[in-house]
């Protein structure tokens, strides 16, 4: 069998997902060719990845970083062309020689290039969930109109994708969950580091404690989102768009062991699940090789070591961010864009010691109440809602009323 070589751009190559993607690719050099890598602040790490993979392009955000990177590559990757700026991210996401784009920039900063990759009809490996939270309708329209191939990398959505009927998962908008015989999507959540911590001590938790996830090793922002369960809220919105699923058919199930990555309940009572070790190389490899399977280096799941699997209902008093995300999804319009932007401001403020952990949902709620119904009919209106939400949230922070 001749193997089709895939030509890849990795947006966010220096992050947790980017590094795991390069690890999987390194195991299959005959099947994957890296065409472009992007980074932001970790220039040395980007330089090392460029030297290892010799991409045609490397992208950073500003000229100063570009000069530094160019200097580091001069002797060991002289053929890598260094570009800078947001337009360069879009350029490498849409290069004609690229067929696959790993979208792994964190936050809404990743949205424009991810959307451009979808519009250009690429295979999009979607880790950047914020793209769907900010611009889900536009993004899914772009996928449909261009014939792009969309493979979810977030472990829960990847699990659901794996156990959905093929015709439905590849074209969820041609039909509905009900027509495909599905009654519910069951999204599992670890509950993060504060699942059992006493409620009245939550206002004292430190950024160091919040980023120490019990099961997964991830970037800082998503780790704080997991601790507040905003991550699961964002994932409910992500599932809504990916699988054409109304909020009423998405149920969050707390599962502290993070072994069952999510489930699909069918109308006949069957529940199909995908299980595995909590290691992002599994969903990444699934997306890279789809519809085939490749080796990942992940230690096989040992069920005897796992021993037991527990499931609980989420506690919305402990995790108000989850309720805020469901409410924003129900509100429609640009409410989820506002939720996302306010969350990004709140998480950054918590990580820099400006606010307490328990202030995160307060700040988000205040921002949502101040901006009740902004339109979501174009990329311009969504970016305006994102900007307006950042302005309102920053103002709340400055007056420190939360
Ligand atoms: P990291 O923080 O580890 O990495 C983020 C990447 O984005 C880095 O390459 C970073 O560059 C780059 N970046 C940061 N800010 C900007 C910007 N303004 N413009 C361009 N690039 C930027 O995040 P993760 O890898 O953990 O997460 C990436 C995405 O994947 C997120 O959307 C997250 O929600 C999602 N995800 C992550 C999972 C995980 O296990 N980590 C699981 C499921 C989803 P640099 O480091 O050089 O500054
Ligand atoms: Mg996830």
Q: How far is the CA of 216 from the centre of ligand 2 (A)?
A: 10
pLDDT 10s digits, 120-136? 999 999 999 999 999 99
Instruction: Round to the nearest angstrom and report the end-to-end CA distance of the chain.
Output: 61
Beta-bridged to residue 254, according to DSSP, are 189, 312
What is the DSSP secondary structure assignment for residue 286, as one 8-state letter?
A: H
Residue 234 near residue 133, CB atoms below 8 Å: yes
pLDDT beyond 70 at 110: yes
Q: Looking at the structure, tell me whether residues 339 and 270 fall in a common domain.
A: no
Domain, as residue range, for 356: 332-402
Residue 46 near residue 58, CB atoms below 8 Å: yes
Three-state secondary structure call for residue 11: strand
Residues whose CB is less than 8 angstroms from the CB of residue 158 and which lie 6 or more positions away in sequence, other chains included: 151, 152, 261, 274, 282, 283, 286, 287
**Beta strand pairing call for 260-266 and 182-189:** antiparallel
Number of compact structural domains in the chain? 3
Q: Looking at the structure, tell me whether residues 46 and 177 fall in a common domain.
A: no
Q: Looking at the structure, tell me whether residues 124 and 208 fall in a common domain.
A: no
The CATH number that applies at residue 49 is 3.40.50.720
Closest ligand relative to 343 C-alpha: 1
Q: Looking at the structure, tell me whether residues 370 and 308 fall in a common domain.
A: no
Q: Which residues line ligand 1 (CB under 6 A)?
A: 12-18, 39-42, 61, 104-106, 109, 127-130, 154, 216, 218-222, 280
Residue whose CA lies nearest to ligand 1 atom number 39: 218
Three-state secondary structure call for residue 380: helix
Q: Looking at the structure, tell me whether residues 29 and 95 fall in a common domain.
A: yes
Q: How far is the CA of 344 from the centre of ligand 1 (A)?
A: 13
pLDDT 10s digits, 22-56? 999 999 999 999 999 999 999 999 999 999 999 99
pLDDT beyond 60 at 10: yes
pTM value? 0.97
Domain edge (last residue) among 152, 184, 219: 152
Please state, rounded to an integer, the average pLDDT across all residues of the chain.
96
pLDDT 10s digits, 319-365? 999 999 999 999 999 999 999 999 999 999 999 999 999 999 999 99
Closest ligand relative to 22 C-alpha: 1
pLDDT value at residue 293 = 98
pLDDT 10s digits, 152-161? 999 999 999 9
Q: How far is the CA of 337 from the centre of ligand 2 (A)?
A: 19
Residues whose CB is less than 8 angstroms from the CB of residue 335 and which lie 6 or more positions away in sequence, other chains included: 327, 328, 329, 368, 372, 373, 374
Name the helix (H) or strand (E) containing 6: strand 6-11
Q: Looking at the structure, tell me whether residues 305 and 366 fall in a common domain.
A: no
Residues whose CB is less than 8 angstroms from the CB of residue 202 and which lie 6 or more positions away in sequence, other chains included: 194, 318, 357, 358
């Amino acid at each position: 069998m001749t193997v089709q070589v895939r030509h890849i751009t990795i947006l966010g190559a220096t992050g947790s997902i980017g590094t795991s993607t390069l690890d999987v690719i390194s195991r299959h050099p005959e099947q994957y060719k890296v065409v472009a890598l992007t980074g932001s602040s970790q220039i040395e790490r980007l330089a090392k990845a460029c030297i290892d993979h010799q991409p045609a392009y490397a992208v950073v955000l500003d000229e100063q970083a570009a000069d530094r990177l160019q200097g580091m590559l001069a002797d060991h990757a002289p053929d890598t062309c260094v570009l800078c700026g947001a337009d360069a991210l879009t350029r490498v996401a849409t290069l004609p020689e690229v067929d696959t784009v790993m979208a792994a920039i964190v936050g809404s900063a990743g949205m424009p290039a991810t959307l451009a990759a979808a519009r250009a009809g690429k295979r999009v490996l979607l880790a950047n969930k914020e793209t769907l939270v900010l611009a889900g309708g536009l993004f899914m329209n772009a996928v449909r109109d261009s014939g792009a191939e969309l493979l979810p990398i977030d472990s829960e959505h990847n699990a659901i994708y794996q156990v959905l009927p093929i015709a439905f998962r590849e074209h969820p908008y041609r039909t509905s969950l009900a027509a495909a015989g599905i009654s519910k999507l069951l999204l599992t959540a670890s509950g993060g580091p504060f699942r059992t911590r006493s409620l009245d001590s939550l206002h004292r938790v430190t950024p160091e404690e919040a980023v120490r996830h019990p099961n997964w090793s991830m970037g800082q922002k998503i780790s704080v989102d997991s601790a507040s369960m905003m991550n699961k809220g964002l994932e409910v919105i992500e599932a809504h768009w990916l699988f054409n699923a109304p909020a009423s058919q998405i149920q969050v199930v707390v599962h502290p062991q993070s072994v069952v990555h999510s489930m699909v309940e069918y109308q006949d009572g069957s529940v199909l699940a995908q299980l595995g070790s909590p290691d992002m190389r599994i969903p990444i490899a699934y997306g890279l090789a789809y519809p085939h399977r490749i080796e990942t280096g992940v230690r096989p799941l040992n069920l005897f070591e796992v021993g037991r699997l527990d499931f609980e209902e989420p506690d919305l008093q402990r995790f108000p961010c989850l309720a805020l995300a469901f409410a924003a999804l129900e509100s429609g319009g640009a409410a989820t864009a506002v939720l996302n932007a306010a969350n990004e401001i709140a998480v950054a403020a918590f990580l820099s010691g400006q606010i307490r952990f328990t202030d995160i949902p307060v700040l988000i709620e205040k921002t949502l109440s101040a901006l009740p119904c902004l339109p979501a009919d174009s990329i311009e209106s969504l970016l305006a809602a994102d900007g307006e939400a950042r302005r309102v949230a920053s103002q709340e922070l400055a007056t420190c009323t939360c």
